[in-house]
Amino acid sequence: MQATAYTYDPESRSGSVLLDDGSPLEFGSAAFEAGGLRLLRPGQRVRIEVEGEGEARRVTLVTLQTF
């Protein structure tokens, strides 16, 4: 699934993305580290993997979108 980086805190290595429908979804440091990233800037296109549904939905992986 694709999304756009919305926030990122380098100290906690967590943040949030905006899905293509405009809804925000937060990610924790485990999802960030699983993608092997060092830094994320708001506005960057990312690829995410999620699990669960509704309120239990969570991001498990954040990587940069490549073409």
pLDDT exceeds cutoff 90 at 54: no
- Nearest CA to 40 out of 13, 61, 67 is that of 13
Contact 45, 2 (CB under 8 A): yes
Strand order from edge to edge, sheet including 14-19? 24-27, 14-19, 2-9, 45-51, 58-64
Q: What percent of the chain has pLDDT over 90?
A: 90
Q: Render pLDDT for 21-53 as a digit per residue (tens, 0 to 9).
A: 999 999 999 999 999 999 999 999 999 999 999
Distance CA 16, CA 32 (A): 10
Mean pLDDT, rounded, for 16-20: 96
Q: What is the pLDDT of residue 67?
A: 64
| pTM recorded for the entire structure | 0.89
